[in-house]
Amino acid sequence: MLENTPDSARPAEFVEALAKGLMILESFDSQHPEMTLSDVARRVGLSPAAARRSLLTLQAMGYVGQTNKRFHLRPKVMNLGSAFYFSARVDEVLQPELRRLVGMFGDASSVATLDGHDVIYIAHYSEQRARRATAVVGARYPAHATSLGRVLLAGLPDAEFDRYLREVEPLALTRMTVVDKSELRALVEEVRERNYATTVDQLDYGITALAVPIRGASGRTIAALNSSGYTGVVTAEGLVAQRLQELRLSAGRIALTLSRYPVLESIIGTR
């Protein structure tokens, strides 16, 4: 919600109308593929009048459609995501290493960055077909429940991680999900020491994953890279023994490429 954006994060030139429009676009998801005006206003935390003005503007620009008084996204919205995909040169910088890892180990591999309390997948490659939480480009999941998220949380300065723990209310996505903040802090501290994170059935049943940091030229963690498989077919210990070295090699290659194109580090990296 707009009111949750602290004043300190708003420059003097902050355009509230633009912020409202972007928040409305973000409010549509798999659980809310179409909404009435009242639904949108409620989800975004706007008055119906403000939501209506933004929706009609987005509709005029081709980003939103309307059927029987219910609003939905239009394909033009994909232009926004593809602009990031091509400007970040995902095909050139990230996908080759994901394909290499999947070619070696099978299963799936992803790169994600941190946005607030969530991770956002910015690249993904998989040979998996079973029903499970979908790790497609643009998907976002709670950081506390993913190997990628724990690596990214471990890369935060102490003050930022403390703020995260104060603000977040971890949800139990499975019976295995760690939601106790003290336990989560201990796990993230362990990730800082080991320089990798593993998770088993934290985000969804059947997902076991191993993640490592991708660091920028300054040494700051800017993204995370993982390899995941099916719980029962792979174990966390097995992933560490068999895949950790290659994951770190891929993370290093990605970091080296980013160092040659500093703008890419800014585009891809966690804020």
Q: What is the pLDDT of residues 90-123, one digit of tens each?
A: 667 789 999 999 999 999 999 999 989 999 998 9
- Between 83 and 24, the higher pLDDT residue: 24
What values do phi and psi take at 86, rounded to 5? -80, -35
Highest mean pLDDT among 119-123, 134-138, 139-143, 172-176: 172-176
pLDDT computed for residue 87 by the predictor: 60
Tokens 């975004």 locate to 44
Task: Name which residue leads in pLDDT, 9 or 24.
Answer: 24
Quote the tokens at residue 63: 């980003």
Q: What is the pLDDT of residue 4?
A: 47
pLDDT of amino acid 99: 95
Distance CA 74, CA 234 (A): 40
Asked if 2-78 and 88-268 have one fold, the answer is no
pLDDT of residue 258: 83
Q: Which amino acid is at 105?
A: F
CA distance to 45, 69, 182, per residue, from 65 (Å) = 21, 10, 45
Contact 133, 123 (CB under 8 A): no
Q: Does domain 88-268 have CATH number 3.30.450.40?
A: yes
Asked whether residue 68 carries a pLDDT value surpassing 80, the answer given is: yes
Q: What is the structure's pLDDT at 270?
A: 59
State mean pLDDT over 19-41: 88
Question: DSSP letter at 177?
Answer: -
Work out whether strand 34-35 and strand 64-67 pair parallel, antiparallel, or are unpaired: unpaired
Buried b (16+ CB within 10 A) or exposed e, 89-121: bbeebbbebbebbbeebebbbbbbbbeebbbbb
Taking residues 19-25, report their average pLDDT.
88
Please give the pLDDT value at position 3: 47
184 Ramachandran zone, left/alpha/beta (phi>0; psi -120 to 50) = alpha
- 67 strand-pairing partners: 70
CB within 8 A of 153, min separation 6: which ones? Answer: 114, 143, 144, 161, 164, 188, 191
Q: Where are the domains of the chain?
A: 2-78, 88-268
Model pLDDT for residues 180-224, shown as the tens digit of each residue? 999 999 999 999 999 999 999 999 999 999 999 999 888 999 999
pLDDT at 136: 77
Query: How far apart (Å, rounded) are the C-alpha atoms in residues 196 and 123?
Result: 19
Using a pLDDT cut of 70, give the percent of the chain over it.
87
DSSP state of 33: S
pLDDT of residue 142: 96
pLDDT value for 138: 81
CATH of segment(s) 2-78: 1.10.10.10
Helix (H, G, I), strand (E, B) or coil at 150: helix
